[in-house]
Amino acid sequence: MPYRISRLGHVEIRSLDLDRDLDHYTNVLGLQLTGREGKTAYLKGWDERHAYSVCLTEADRAGMVRMAFRTVDAEDLDYYEKRLHDLGVTFEVIPEDYRRGRALRFVAPSGHTVELYHEMDYTGNLLPSVNPAPWPQRLQGIAVPRLDHTLVTAPDPATAIQFFQEVLEFRTSEVLVGQDGTPLAAWLWQRPAPHDLAIVPGRAGGFHHAAFVVDSTDALFRAADILAMHKVRIDYGPGRHGITRGTTIYFFDPSGNRLETFGGYSAYQMDPDTRPVTWTQDQITQAVFYYAQELNETFLSVYT
């Protein structure tokens, strides 16, 4: 099966106060502000090469507006348009959006608005494309290089997982199963990384977190220092997940959306023939928090 989706391209997250939250996203998380139009600000990590990976939109509540996946080629968008049509998935074609070309928009069984697109303005990263340094100086805060993945909630996770596996051809890296073997949660990938999208049980349309890469354990602890210096509410970490082996810190933006710095690339890479790892529900505490070996009060119950 060819790879037709390259990655999670962007997420749109709601903010209760855009000016306040932009300070967090640019000075603490350290994203680059690349545009602002109306009630939406557009941001990206310093090593991302397209115009944005995060849209932050002021609203009367928090949570996720949409997640958008970028196809590998323009033809792959046509492929999915035909596939959605053939499989009877209701979708609309969005001719264009801010600095982005045509997109397919539909609602997944999890209740989330999902988009597929290919074209977005190619801006390059913050380094020259000829003889670049390894990283740019004068970055702010944690200075995450890029968006990694998102985790969302679904009232019927098995159906939602199946939708992403069958319709959008996500592969599965890891799965948490209930006593009868039914998937309760799954980690799904398109890039050769542990996950681009994960689905866990919860409310329809719920947003558990969006994760950004930190590429070393040193960077993870530096991120924890910066979060604590800014008195950011940390939910968990620095720590490690059993699932994906990822090293992690979870924290909340000022509007209460959970974000993560994820050291996933130190974990493992996927091959086309890598078979899923299974976690059983009786081991959920170490599957989730490998070191603590117990859940905290908030991680599975608090989300926007």
Partner 1 sequence: MGQTYTIILLPMGNSVRCAQDQTVLGAILGSGARVYYGCTGGSCGVCKMRLVSGQLDYGRYSVAVLSEEERRQGFFLSCQAKSVSDLTIQLTEANRYRQVPTFSIQPPRPR
Q: Which of 60, 86, 271, 273 binds partner 1 (CB under 8 A)?
A: 60
Beta carbon nearer to partner 1, 61 or 85: 61
HEC profile of 131-142: CCCCCCCCCCCC
Q: Of 118, 195, 236, 303, which residue is the catalytic one?
A: 195
Reading the block at residue 17, the tokens are 């106060």
Task: Report the C-alpha gap between 1 and 108 in whole angstroms.
Answer: 22
What spatial distance separates the first Cα and last Cα of the chain, rounded to whole Å?
35
**303 touching partner 1, by CB under 8 A:** yes
Q: Are strands 207-213 and 147-154 parallel, antiparallel or unpaired?
A: antiparallel
Asked if 62 interacts with partner 1 (CB under 8 A), we say: yes
Rule CB under 8 A: say whether 61 interacts with partner 1.
Answer: yes
Measured CA to CA in angstroms, residue 225 lies from 147, 218, 249, 256 at distances of 20, 11, 11, 20
| The token pair that represents 272 in the structure block | 């086309």
Minimum CB separation of residue 59 from partner 1 in Å reads 9
CB of 261 to partner 1, least distance (A): 17
C-alpha dist (Å) from residue 44 to 9, 14, 53, 120, 260: 10, 16, 5, 13, 15
Which of 237, 257, 262, 289 contacts partner 1 by CB under 8 A?
257
In the complex with partner 1, the residue whose CB is nearer, 29 or 219, is: 29
Interface with partner 1, residue 258, by CB under 8 A: yes
Measured from the CB atom, the residue of 46 and 303 that comes closer to partner 1 is: 303
Q: Annotated catalytic, 195?
A: yes
| Active-site hit among 52, 118, 241, 303 | 241
User: From residue 40, how far is each of 13, 58, 169, 238, 244 by CA, in Å?
Assistant: 10, 7, 31, 31, 32
Q: Is 16 an interacting residue with respect to partner 1 (CB under 8 A)?
A: yes
Residues 212 and 10: their CA atoms lie apart, in Å, by 12
Number of residues this chain uses to bind partner 1 (CB under 8 A): 20
CB of 63 to partner 1, least distance (A): 7
With H, G, I as helix, E, B as strand and everything else as coil, classify residue 275: coil
Residue-wise over 21-47: b if at least 16 C-beta within 10 A, else e? bbebbbebbbbbebeeeeebbbbbbbb
User: According to CB under 8 A, which residues from 217 to 256 bind partner 1?
Assistant: 233, 252-256
Annotated catalytic, 50?
A: no
Q: Are 195 and 211 in contact (CB under 8 A)?
A: no
250 is catalytic: yes
Q: Give least dist CB 152 to partner 1, A.
A: 15
* 41-49, 61-69, 84-92, 188-196 -> range binding partner 1 (CB under 8 A): 61-69
> Which C-beta is closer to partner 1: that of 49 or that of 230?
230
Interaction site with partner 1 (CB under 8 A): 16-17, 60-63, 233, 252-258, 297-298, 301-304
Question: Which residues form the catalytic set?
Answer: 149, 195, 209, 241, 250, 260
